[in-house]
Structure 1
Amino acid sequence: MAVCVAVIAKENYPLYIKTSNADNELKYSFTVHTSLDVVEEKISSVGKNANDLRELYLGLLYPTEDYKVYGYVTNTKVKFVLVVESSNTSLRDNEIRSV
């Protein structure tokens, strides 16, 4: 299922990164840090209208050839990033949301 799970602080430094394969930990770390740009873009686009009900689940941040990266942000701006393999087609968006 997930190859990497990361918890990122409000200031964008990693609090926790857990990977399924320790040999690829640096690769997954780069993938997580790359996704932070997309997370910040989604947060700023939603936050322009103060009356909007902010959706905490950001959904698919970006797909790559090998992985799909999903994001979730809390009210305190702590970010959760989940990296799954692209070959895993059995996962749907509502299943990722429940994780």
Structure 2
Amino acid sequence: MNEDKRMQVVMGLIMAGGNAKGSSVAAIQAAKKGDFQAAEKNLKAADEALNQAHNVQTEMLTKEAQGEKTQVDLYLVHAQDHLMTAIAFKDLAKEFVAVYQRLAK
């Protein structure tokens, strides 16, 4: 993978992670206000962003399995860290939304 393509992948992972985390925050804020429809919409948006990142990772893993080595540097490590944080944040946001729904009943 050439350097430009690799940086596009790295930035794509960072952007997807950022979008997922932002949508997760929005889901919590909506649930806090009692707008559970918006909360669910934002959780779905977070899932879609994470699915995009998952597809990028799958492509990288496939190429690695085919013998095309991926340069692992601080950029890629940061992108993976950003993505894993977004995944954890989305999982917690889902729990927060459920708690707010329960409290609303």
Both structures adopt the same fold (TM-score exceeding 0.5): no
Structure number with bigger Rg: 2
Q: Which has the higher helix share?
A: 2
TM-score (norm 2): 0.36
Greater share of strand: 1
Instruction: Give the TM-score taking structure 1 as reference length.
Output: 0.37
